Chain A
């Protein structure tokens, strides 16, 4: 299978909690088209689940009639996922991304920690009152695969 196959998907859905599973299914199906380890697949699913959950819980604060957009592309073996909402935005992105920061005592403040641990790059662009964009990137080609690819 061609691991470098270019691909792009875009999905927009209402901000109901059940749709977080939909986002996981979308991203799993996309990355599973290539040659990917189960660990990588699980990690990508967790990272996307965290970002979309943030949009639903924090961005829209439980309002279920808003829209979340997810765009995912694979280009040259790099997976790029954009998760976007037009919610309340994050006042202090740096603080929100620090370990164990949570505005909710029932949550562990691990959302951004998992995104950062499981993806190669995490960018957060947020404007108060306008919304938040999270861009996750991960190289799907491991070094040994890249070497064999070059050797070919």
Chain B
């Protein structure tokens, strides 16, 4: 499941469950439409409820990162579980997308 909320020009997207090809498609469609419709400066992924991620999920993340970057915005992730963190780390995505522990830190973009 993909749910979204706005805080000023921050778009916070929460994914619940397994971030595989099914959720990747929903995430991609939902976020792309919102980025088209509204001014978003900061795309934040709430990963607190992500229990699994594979390369489909990683690809969707990378695609949204490229999109927001083209629009001059930024992207970050918060609340990553250890098993998911490992996959993010192995993929090399952490070199380009910063991770925070909480939503408020992600909003401020401050290291914990």
A→B interface (CB under 8 Å): 17-18, 20-21, 24, 38-39, 42, 45-46, 49-50, 53, 56-57, 102, 104-111, 114, 117
In Å, the complex CA distance between A9 and B50 comes to 28
Knowing A38-B83, A117-B90, say if A56 contacts B54 (CB, 8 Å). no
In Å, the complex CA distance between A108 and B59 comes to 5
In Å, the complex CA distance between A114 and B59 comes to 13
Chain B residues lying within 8 Å of A108, measured Cβ to Cβ, are 55, 58-59, 62, 91
Q: Which residue of B lies closest to A115 (CB)?
A: B55
Chain B residues lying within 8 Å of A38, measured Cβ to Cβ, are 83
Chain A residues lying within 8 Å of B54, measured Cβ to Cβ, are 46, 49-50, 53, 111, 114
Total number of residue pairs linking A and B with CB closer than 8 Å: 65
Give, as a whole number of angstroms, the nearest-CB distance from A46 to chain B: 5
Apart from A17-B22, A49-B20, list 15 A-B contacts with CB within 8 A: A21-B18, A39-B86, A42-B86, A46-B87, A50-B54, A53-B54, A105-B63, A106-B28, A106-B60, A107-B56, A107-B59, A108-B58, A108-B62, A111-B55, A114-B55
Chain B residues lying within 8 Å of A20, measured Cβ to Cβ, are 20-22
User: Which of A21, A53, A110 neighbours the largest number of chain B CB atoms within 10 Å of its CB?
Assistant: A110
Number of interface residues of B (CB under 8 A): 20
Chain B residues lying within 8 Å of A114, measured Cβ to Cβ, are 54-55, 87, 90
In Å, the complex CA distance between A17 and B58 comes to 16
Chain B residues lying within 8 Å of A56, measured Cβ to Cβ, are 21
A-B contacts, 13 listed (Cβ < 8 Å): A17-B21, A20-B22, A21-B22, A38-B83, A42-B83, A50-B55, A53-B20, A53-B21, A108-B55, A111-B54, A114-B54, A114-B55, A117-B90
Q: Which residue of A lies closest to B62 (CB)?
A: A108
Within 54-104 of B, Cβ neighbours of A (below 8 Å) are at 54-56, 58-60, 62-63, 83, 86-87, 90-91
